[in-house]
């Protein structure tokens, strides 16, 4: 690829993000504006930012890696995301919006009247989201390597832009950038995909032919059932507890907006999820040579297009990565800034302090990414599992129980987390988080039965 063309497109992309952040900063006057956009987001704003939150490097880069090895089983991760959105659209998103709070941890405090539960839930959320953020940073580096950009300059410029526009504009900037990024992704990657489906350059196989070629990939009997279930179910269950999605529902202007946006996002993810699977499988069947660290998704696009189109596609994937990264940055910052009281050490909850927290989280994630060398989907799945094990049962009872019990919720959280760690050390045939959930549920009911109201 021509580096001049790529850096020109990348520079335009980065400049656009910074401009969006500066414009959004004019609307951001308070911490409520910074983290919740004044609780005024419309249907299209919530829908676009939900799509952007999940349409990240894990979905595009990670799914194509899975499809290169496992064929259509690469759809598992994307299908899990879509299932999560459909569950949210069935009513759970409205419950979150009606909570009238800023974080899932604060919702637990409101329903259970437990400060301990709030702080514990917030810590779990921060740890989980930070793990996912690191996986996003890793995927951005993998992307640059796959297109021959081994220089750290492009990597540093990209992350400086993400951190800066998120820091100065908050959720207003994130939503505006997400809308622009999703439209750019549809325009670039969507157009290339449509061209490939219809014109089939270089004798690409059709979807039906790919289906018939599934036996050439790793067979289901050779896959670890625990890994299959974790890849499918953890994204779906995590969607119910993750702060970055909940933050959008808290900021929606009405419960109906929250529900319809979740439904629209789920439908889009299902349709778009075939794109990385299609290109990942094509790369394997064409025996496309992949350099060390390269990704089949972008390698295929480079193979069938010219330098300019490929540069646009690469920036489209970068847009997917940044759209998830800014959401995670904003969500982690909201947990740290809103769920803890720092006045005892002389720090007040102000807009500036919130911005500095966002800056610190961004820098820490970039530094931390150099210490992780796992598959990016595996990193994300482990991060999902921790929150699901600890928080799913208490949050469901907080939303649907008429008289949620604080002691029972604390027991469910501790037993769920403890069981998860135990089965992580001594693994069974099923994913640790899925085994831990029944223990968490039993813990809630036993404690509720034994403890007085």
SS3 of the chain: the string is CCHHHHHHHHHHHHHHHHHHHHHHHCCCCCHHHHHHHHHCECHHHHHHHHHHHHCCHHHHHHHHHHHHHHHHHHHHHHHHHHHHHHHHHHHHHHHHHHCCCCCHHHHHHHHHCCHHHHHHHHHHHHHHHHHHHHHHHHHHHHHHHHCCCCCHHHHHHHHHHHHHHHHHHHHHHHHHHHHHHHHHHHHHHHHHHHHHHHHCHHHCCCHHHHHHCHHHCCCHHHCCHHHHHHHHHHHHHHCCCCHHHHHHHHHECCHHHHHHHHHHHHHHHHHHCHHHHHHHHHHHHCCCCCCCCCCHHHHHHHHHCCHHHHHHHHHHHHHHHHHHHHHHHHHHHHHHHHCCCCHHHCCCCCHHHHHHHHHHHHHHHHHHHHHCCCCHHHHHHHHHHHHHHHHHHHHHHHHHCCCCCHHHHHHHHHHHHHHHHHHHHCCCCCCHHHHHHHHHHHHHHHHHHHCCC
pLDDT at 147 over 90: no
User: What is the band of 251 on the pLDDT scale with cuts at 50, 70, 90?
Assistant: very high
pLDDT at 346 over 80: no
pLDDT of amino acid 372: 67
User: What is the band of 453 on the pLDDT scale with cuts at 50, 70, 90?
Assistant: low
pLDDT at 307 over 80: yes
pLDDT digits (tens, 9 = 90+) for 45-58: 999 999 998 887 67
pLDDT at 14 over 60: yes
pLDDT digits (tens, 9 = 90+) for 194-244: 888 887 777 777 777 888 888 888 765 567 787 788 888 888 998 999 899
User: What is the band of 364 on the pLDDT scale with cuts at 50, 70, 90?
Assistant: very high
pLDDT of amino acid 379: 67
Higher pLDDT, 365 or 451: 365
The mean pLDDT value for 87-112 works out to 93
The mean pLDDT value for 337-359 works out to 85
Higher pLDDT, 272 or 288: 272
Structural domains for the chain: 3-376 (1.20.1730.10)
pLDDT at 284 over 60: yes
């Amino acid at each position: 690829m021509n580096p001049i063309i790529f850096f020109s497109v990348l520079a335009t992309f980065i400049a656009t993000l910074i401009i969006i952040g500066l414009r959004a900063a004019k609307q951001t006057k308070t911490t409520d504006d910074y983290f919740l956009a004044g609780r005024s987001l419309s249907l299209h704003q919530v829908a676009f930012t939900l799509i952007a939150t999940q349409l990240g490097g894990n979905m595009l880069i990670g799914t194509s890696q899975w499809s290169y090895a496992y064929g259509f089983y690469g759809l598992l991760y994307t299908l899990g995301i879509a299932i999560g959105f459909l569950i949210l659209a069935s009513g759970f998103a409205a419950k979150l919006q009606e909570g009238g709070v800023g974080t899932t941890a604060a919702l637990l405090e409101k329903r259970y009247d437990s400060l301990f539960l709030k702080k514990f839930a917030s810590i779990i959320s921060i740890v989980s989201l930070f793990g996912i953020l690191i996986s996003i940073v890793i995927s951005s580096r993998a992307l640059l390597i796959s297109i021959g950009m081994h220089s750290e300059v492009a990597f540093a410029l990209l992350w400086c832009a993400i951190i800066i526009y998120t820091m100065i504009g908050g959720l207003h900037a994130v939503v505006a950038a997400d809308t622009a990024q999703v439209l750019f992704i549809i325009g670039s990657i969507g157009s290339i995909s449509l061209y490939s489906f219809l014109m089939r350059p270089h004798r690409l196989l059709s979807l039906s032919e790919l289906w018939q070629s599934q036996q050439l990939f790793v067979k289901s009997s050779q896959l670890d059932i625990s890994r299959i279930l974790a890849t499918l179910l953890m994204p779906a269950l995590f969607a119910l507890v993750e702060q970055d999605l909940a933050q959008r529902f808290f900021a929606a202007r009405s419960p109906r907006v929250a529900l319809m946006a979740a439904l629209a996002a789920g439908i889009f993810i299902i349709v778009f999820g075939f794109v990385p699977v299609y290109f990942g499988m094509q790369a394997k069947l064409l025996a496309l040579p992949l350099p060390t660290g390269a990704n089949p998704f972008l390698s295929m696009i480079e193979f069938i297009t010219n330098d300019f189109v490929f540069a646009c596609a690469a920036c489209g994937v970068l847009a997917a990565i940044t759209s998830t990264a800014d959401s995670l940055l904003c969500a982690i910052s909201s947990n740290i800034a809103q769920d803890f009281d720092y006045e005892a050490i002389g720090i007040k909850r102000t807009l500036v302090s919130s911005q500095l927290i966002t800056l610190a989280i961004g820098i820490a994630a970039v530094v931390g990414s150099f210490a992780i060398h796992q598959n990016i989907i595996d990193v994300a799945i482990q991060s999902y599992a921790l929150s699901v094990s600890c928080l799913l049962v208490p949050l469901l009872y907080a939303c649907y129980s008429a008289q949620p019990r604080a002691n029972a919720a604390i027991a469910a959280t501790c037993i769920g987390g403890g069981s998860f760690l135990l089965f992580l050390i001594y693994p069974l045939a099923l994913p640790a988080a899925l085994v831990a959930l029944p223990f968490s549920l039993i813990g809630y009911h036993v404690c509720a039965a034994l403890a007085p109201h």
